[in-house]
Every structure is written in structure tokens, then in C-alpha cells.
Amino acid sequence: MLSIFCPYRNRPGFYEDFVHHYRNYYPGSRIYMLEQDDETPFKRGQLMNVGFKYLLDNGIRIKDILFVDVDIRLKYRIDFQGLLEEHKTLIIPFNHLSLYTLKSKGVYVPLNKPSYFLDIPDGGVTLFTKDIFMKCGGFSNLYIGWGIEDTDLLRRVSKITRVKNEMIHLEHNRLAEWQSPEFKRNKKIHSLQLPSSMDGFEQTTFDIKMKEIEENIFNLKIKNIGVVEDYVYISKM
């Protein structure tokens, strides 16, 4: 069974469309909308850790995981199950990403301008088997906002298979994250190369409420995301 993890905050139109798109592409999968439900800085990587750790701790079955942002759609369906059985870790690179606007649920209109992310080789859409994600420890807890947390995660994996697919990137108002203090801070943190055994989902703390809003569609309201008290790198946060 495919588990789809989507980190999210404050984009209800995208939320509804995301569920519509991925439920149609992967019927029978479980979709987990990981909603950061507080006003603290967004913590994309840690939200993924929260979803994984919560399901693991509560004995909820996980086999294969698709990590994807709320503004990304796959243009063509891919049979990930067979690919993951063979390769264990997959990534869809950003170099086939086209910018669209969301007109209505399931209806996308192409824009005559390039996506912001075409020069970023990795990130945004990644797939892991449960065992490989556990082995690499999950995402680092150090990254804030958006940016470089995927790159950090992927260097924890010994082998990555890249899968070609065109993707739809939904336009929305955004600050240039790559010019923000958080992004510059994330770039500095990336040079630390922290060991995954001391910095991953096992060290992530949180408060959470999970509700099944439709069959196999779950909303996880998450707040107070942090780290365990003896977290070795807490001075870096």
C-alpha cells in the first residue's frame, strides 16, 4: 500500500485539489495531509518525520511512502510499486516542472513562464520504502521553512534512482525563499552533515490529532514541533 505524505499549511484550495488528484491517480492509497496547526515557522522536513513516527508508534501499516508538496501534481501516473520493490528509493527531478494555475478542482491552466525550480536537480517528489526511510533516520530536524531538507535526506541514502515525469507546479504568491534568512541558514546547516542516528524522526517531538475525513484520507493537525530534550544539536536550532 502506498502512503502519500503532504506537508501543508493555509492553502485550502490546493488541499482539496491535492486529495482529488492523488486519490484518482492512486486509488487504494492512504493520503496523510500533515497540517502544521500553529503560527511557528513552517517545518517541512519535520512534518514528514511527525507523520512517519506517529503511524509507526501507533502500529499503522506503512510500506511505501510518497513525499510530495501540496502544489505539485504528477502529469502522468507512474506505477511506483514495482519500481520501489527494485530500487527502494526514487526521486522525480525538478527539471520537468511546468508552471500552471489552478482554475478549479482538477483543472490546470499552463502559464507562459518557467517554474522557479528548474535549476534544482533533486527534491520535492521522493519515494521511499519504509525500511529505507527508517534506515536513513528520516529528515533532519534542523531545517526551517522550505529548502535543502530534501537534499540533506537524499545524501543519507546510498543509492537513488531518478524517474522521469512531467510535473505540474501550481502558481501561488510566495516570497523568494532562496533569498530568505531561513534558506541561507539552511545552506549553512547543510555543511554540518549530521549523523542520521542522532538527528531524525526518532528525535522529533510534537502534539498531534489525526482524523479520517474520508475513506483513506487523513488530516493530521500538528503543533509544538520540536526535538527531544537531550538533542545533541539543539544549540544549532
Cell 530534501 belongs to 150
> What was the pLDDT predicted at 237?
47
Q: What is the pLDDT along the chain (237 residues), one digit of tens a residue?
A: 899 999 999 888 999 999 999 999 999 999 999 999 999 989 999 999 999 999 999 999 999 999 999 999 999 898 888 889 899 999 987 777 788 999 999 999 999 877 666 555 566 689 999 999 999 999 999 888 777 788 889 889 988 898 888 889 998 765 555 566 666 777 777 777 677 888 999 999 999 999 999 999 999 999 999 999 887 665 454
Asked, for residue 201, whether it belongs to a domain, the answer is yes
Residue with cell 520540536: 226
CATH code (residue 42): 3.90.550.10
CA distance 14 to 35: 13
Domain annotation covers residue 235? no
Establish if 57 belongs to a structural domain: yes
For residue 70, the model assigns a pLDDT of: 95
Residues 77 and 85: their CA atoms lie apart, in Å, by 17
Please check whether residue 232 lies inside any domain of the structure.
no
Residue 15 pLDDT: 96
| Alpha-helical regions (H) of the chain | 12-25, 44-57, 80-87, 130-135, 149-154, 181-190
Question: Domain for residue 39, yes or no?
Answer: yes
Residue 234 lies in a domain: no
Beta strands, E only, 50-124: 64-68, 72-74, 89-91, 97-104, 107-114
- The reply to whether 207 falls in a domain is yes
Q: What is the pLDDT of residue 150?
A: 85
pLDDT value for 188: 73
pLDDT of the residue at 3: 97
User: Residues 167, 75: contact at Cβ < 8 Å?
Assistant: yes
Secondary structure letter of residue 117 according to DSSP: T
Q: How much is the pLDDT for 203?
A: 94
Distance CA 47, CA 7 (A): 6
Does 110 reside within a domain? yes
Domain coverage including residue 188: 2-224
Domain count, the chain: 1
How far apart are the C-alpha atoms of 21 and 223, rounded to whole Å?
A: 27
CA 91, 179, 45, 213 torsion: positive or negative? negative
pTM of the model: 0.91
Cell numbers for 234: 539543539
**Among candidates 57, 22, 41, which has minimal Cα distance to 180?**
41
Using CA atoms, how far apart are residues 29 and 22, in angstroms rounded to an integer?
A: 9
Helix, strand, coil fractions of the chain, as percent rounded to 5: 30, 30, 35
